[in-house]
């Protein structure tokens, strides 16, 4: 017959209990074999109770008793990081790089920082698109759909047939066509890169 491994009962006395210590409940002469924290501010300072009184004490224990909702929220947030200080990502910025302590013999981290500072602003209009955007009356950033919609409007308005065969309208339409081709090419490439990337 196999013997089961002995396992302490869930309510077994605390092995760290001081031997011969009586229960801290006034009037109780049982052995104080179970510990319970005295308060939330001193969780490592314990009362020692008998089993009956530690059960009663635990039933009435409320860690958050007397705390405001804001204090409860702050305590819960602190508990999610094991009471360790935390900061939002990026809040330390470049000061997080301590050049004296950080050893980077291959200069990999320095290159990454430099690359990050040279990243172009996505809202800054590319030089080669300023003219085409002005021709179509659009601003950067824009989308291929917005360019197509605007092109159709301008093509209808400036088509020579809609302007009695006007030579000026024909020249204006040529300029619009060139601007549309430049924007369509650039934005079409960006869409393809995003789809494959």
Q: How far apart are CA 128 and CA 13, in angstroms?
A: 80
pLDDT tens by residue, 162-183: 888 888 888 999 999 999 998 8
Question: With 70 as the cut, is the pLDDT of residue 91 above it?
Answer: no
139: in domain: yes
Domain with residue 186: its CATH number is 1.10.287.110
Question: With 80 as the cut, is the pLDDT of residue 111 above it?
Answer: no
122: in domain: no
How high is the pLDDT of residue 14?
83
pLDDT tens by residue, 74-90: 888 888 888 887 766 65
32: in domain: yes
Q: Could you tell me which residues come within 8 angstroms of residue 13 by beta carbon, excluding any fewer than 6 positions away?
A: 31, 33, 34, 51
**Same domain (yes/no): 137, 74:** no
Give residue 141's pLDDT band: very low, low, confident or very high (50, 70, 90): confident
111: in domain: no
The predicted model scores a pTM of 0.38
What is the extent of the structural domain holding 47? Answer: 13-84
72: in domain: yes
142: in domain: yes
Domains: count for the chain: 2
Q: Give ∠ CA 20-25-29 in degrees, rounded to 5.
A: 45
How high is the pLDDT of residue 140?
85
**Same domain (yes/no): 134, 75:** no
């Amino acid at each position: 017959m196999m013997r089961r491994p002995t396992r302490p009962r869930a309510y077994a006395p605390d092995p760290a209990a001081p031997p011969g210590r009586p229960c801290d409940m006034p009037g109780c002469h049982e052995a104080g074999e179970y510990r319970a924290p005295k308060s939330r501010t001193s969780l490592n300072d314990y009362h020692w109770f008998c089993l009956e009184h530690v059960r009663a004490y635990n039933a009435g224990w409320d860690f958050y008793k007397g705390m405001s909702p804001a204090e409860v929220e702050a305590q819960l947030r602190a508990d999610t990081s094991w009471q360790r200080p935390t900061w939002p990502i990026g809040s330390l910025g470049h000061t997080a790089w301590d050049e004296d302590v950080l050893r980077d013999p291959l200069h990999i981290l320095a290159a990454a920082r430099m690359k990050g500072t040279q990243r172009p602003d996505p809202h800054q209009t590319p030089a080669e698109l300023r003219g085409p955007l002005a021709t179509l009356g659009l601003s950067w950033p824009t989308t291929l759909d917005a360019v197509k919609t605007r092109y159709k409007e301008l093509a209808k308005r400036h088509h020579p047939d809609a302007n009695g065969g006007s030579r000026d309208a024909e020249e204006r339409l040529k300029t619009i066509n060139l601007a549309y081709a430049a924007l369509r090419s650039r934005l079409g490439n960006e869409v393809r890169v995003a789809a494959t990337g």
